[in-house]
Amino acid sequence: MENKTLETATLGAGCFWCVEAVFQRLQGVEYVEPGYSGGHVKNPSYREVCGKRTGHAEVAQIKFDTSVISFEEILEVFWYTHDPTTQDRQGNDVGPQYRSAVFYHNEEQKTIAEKSKSEVATQMWNDPIVTEVSPLINYYSAEKDHQNYFNDNPTQGYCQFVVNPKVQKFKAKYADRLKD
């Protein structure tokens, strides 16, 4: 029987369909679930979050095996696969729900995230990093139709023109870290 040590990361990097699609393909990631974090409304709906009044960010909760991949490595992929220099925006997706955020689960994650933001992200991006690093105070799973979205809807327009280019960029850089 395998002895896995699973840790959870909660990351906001724009549309949660993109984040889910990238991390589902990364070795060591056991499970990815789109959801909402960082707001003040209990169990918000997608429509409410898109209404920009709940305070939530679209996030992906990523469960990963620490014997295969570290939180530092998860963050490296996070910095690479979205633009952490744009406030409340990823491409044409605009609003506070699309903000760049690391919602840490413990003090160790906080320390690692802050160090990674100042040392790793700044090496990848020339503009100032605006990523929020905040404690995880809540997490709500997104509705079922948002789960596994890219895999279930690869020909949908948004998936073809927004999600797929991010997945391809990720695959090109991290070809040696892809799941079989």
Counting Cα atoms < 13 Å in the Cβ hemisphere of 88 gives 8
CATH topology of domain 6-174: Peptide Methionine Sulfoxide Reductase; Chain A (3.30.1060)
How many angstroms separate the CA atoms of 2 and 92, rounded? Answer: 43
pLDDT at 117: 98
Mean pLDDT by 10 residues, the chain (180 residues): 84 97 98 97 96 96 98 98 96 94 98 98 97 98 97 96 96 96
Cα-Cα-Cα-Cα torsion 80, 83, 85, 87, nearest 10 degrees, comes to -140
* Residue of 15, 18, 50, 159 marked active site: 15
**Is residue 18 annotated as a catalytic residue, yes or no?**
no
Q: How do the domains of the chain map onto residue ranges?
A: 6-174
